[in-house]
Amino acid sequence: MSVVISGHTAFKQQRLKAWQPILTPKTVLPAFFMLGVVFVPIGIALYLASNNVQQIIFDYTTCTNPVFPATNMASIPGPGSFKTCEVTFTIEKDMPGPVFMYYRLTNFYQNHRRYVKSFDANQLANINVNPTGTTPPAPTSVCSPLSRPSDAPANTYPWVKSENGVQKFNPDAVIYPCGLIANSYFSDVLSDITTKDKKTTYSFQNDSIAWPSDAAKFKPSSLNSINNGDIKNLVFPPPEWVKKFPQFSGGYTSANLFDASQQRFQVWMRPAGLPNFRKLWGESKATIPAGEYTMRIEDSFDVSTFGGTKSVVISTVSILGGKNPFLGIAYIVVGIICWILGLLFLIRHMIKPRKLGDYTYLSWNQPQRGAGAEGQSTNAAGAGPSQRY
């Protein structure tokens, strides 16, 4: 009579069917050569696709300096303390559309934990906003350390009265949009590019540069329905915006309240994972012919505070994206290494082949120090090899 113990399955008793490959020269050597045959052509294709991408990069960090060492950059007086750079550059070959314009920043750590968490998703999506009331919803703690105007440096908002040198804010006042990410929003303005003779201009549109999934996350705010006399003392632009954006230097009104659905703002609000990154500014559907071009850059984004640089990138794309030869080079290198290893193992196998299943290679069949004349080894207890198991 057999007894079946409940719960004892093939899985628990380790009786499932399994397959364990035996690595032999006949299986390993072809695998190395086949990997090389697959990886090298793919790597060459990726590398050629990257090389076909046309890209122009020019640094304009020195736009804020009175002296410009680059001969293709000139300074033009701008609003306030800002300046405007006029850059001349050459496109060697026709750039087929679509052509993309990016701004590139270096040494800017958007991946800092406190920075990444500092925004209010509900505020940006216009959730829990009562447009008929005179009190805006309070930002949550996720915007820390920049939730309310009292969190900003002293005298950031000159239209607010101060008592004994201390500004007094309405207790219901909020910053919109709040948080560190919005406060550091890229403020430079990149113009369209124009031929040197000023006859043709190629525009870069920003209506399709953000991810489609972001459309539901960023909505225009209903706070502009607050009475015009109240909104200025209840809703405040981020402190850096007061200095960088002339339209917000005097505060918000019902007419100039910031629209969070702008796609360039949406692109900025998606933090980069590395300190050196580029973000999309605009897209041109037209083919841009070879020639000399000029563009103007209104410079107000200070990179000297974090020791960074800023550049403009104009580029086409391939089916794999922008110009990045690393992936192709990596595939080629891996394929070549597989070929070299396969060749070395093949030579070794041909010069000194090893018999498969030769039990003389087992440890207890090898002569050891202190062994007898027969070369028979024993364990510490004096047991022979057959007793070890």
pLDDT above 60: residue 69: no
Confidence band (pLDDT; 50, 70, 90) for 189? very high
* Beta-ladder partners of 195: 293
| Of 242, 273, 237, residue with least CA distance to 257 | 237
Q: Is residue 1 part of a domain?
A: no
Cβ proximity of 331 and 42 under 8 Å: yes
Q: How far is CA 134 from CA 220, 222, 235, 267, in A?
A: 18, 11, 10, 31
pLDDT above 90: residue 181: yes
The pLDDT of residue 183? 96
Q: Is residue 233 part of a domain?
A: yes
The pLDDT of residue 99? 95
Q: Is residue 109 part of a domain?
A: yes
Q: What is the 3-state secondary structure (H, E, C) of the chain?
A: CCCCCCCCCCCCCCCCCCCCCCCCHHHHHHHHHHHHHHHHHHHHHHHHHHHCCCEEEEECHHHHCCCCCCCCEEEEECCCCCEEEEEEEEECCCECCCEEEEEEECCCCCCCHHHHHCCCHHHHCCCCCCCCCCCCCCCCHHHCCCCCHHHCCCCCCCCCCEECCEECCCCCCEECCCCHHHHCCCCCEECCEEECCCCCEECCECCCCCCHHHHHCCCCCHHHHCCHHHHHHHEECCHHHHHHCHHHCCCCCCCCCCCCCCHHHHHHCCCCCCCCEEEEEEEECCCECCEEEEEEEEECCCCHHHCCCEEEEEECCECCECCCCHHHHHHHHHHHHHHHHHHHHHHHHHHCCCCCCCHHHCHHHCCCCCCCCCCCCCCCCCCCHHHCC
Confidence band (pLDDT; 50, 70, 90) for 9? confident
Range of the domain at 86: 49-322
- Cα separation, 302 vs 64, whole angstroms: 8
Q: Is residue 257 part of a domain?
A: yes
Q: Is residue 22 part of a domain?
A: no
The pLDDT of residue 225? 79
Confidence band (pLDDT; 50, 70, 90) for 141? confident
Q: What is the pTM of this model?
A: 0.77
- How many domains is the chain built from? 1
pLDDT above 80: residue 139: no
Length of the chain: 389
Q: Is residue 295 part of a domain?
A: yes
Confidence band (pLDDT; 50, 70, 90) for 18? confident
Cβ proximity of 227 and 235 under 8 Å: no
Cβ proximity of 59 and 310 under 8 Å: yes
Q: Is residue 20 part of a domain?
A: no
Confidence band (pLDDT; 50, 70, 90) for 84? confident
- Residues near 357 by beta carbon (within 8 Å), at least 6 away in sequence: none
pLDDT in tens, 102-136: 999 999 999 999 999 999 999 999 887 665 556 67
- Cα separation, 127 vs 189, whole angstroms: 30
Q: What backbone torsions phi and psi does residue 177 show, to the nearest 5 degrees?
A: -75, 140
Q: What percent of the chain has pLDDT over 90?
A: 47
The pLDDT of residue 40? 96
Tokens encoding 43: 């790597």
Confidence band (pLDDT; 50, 70, 90) for 388? very low
pLDDT in tens, 204-247: 999 889 998 888 899 988 888 777 668 888 899 999 999 999 88
Confidence band (pLDDT; 50, 70, 90) for 389? very low
Mean pLDDT of the chain: 84
pLDDT above 60: residue 64: no
| Of 251, 253, 260, 249, residue with least CA distance to 225 | 253
The pLDDT of residue 86? 87
Stretch 145-166: mean pLDDT, rounded?
87
Q: Is residue 302 part of a domain?
A: yes
pLDDT in tens, 331-387: 999 999 999 999 999 999 899 887 777 777 777 777 776 555 444 444 444 444 444
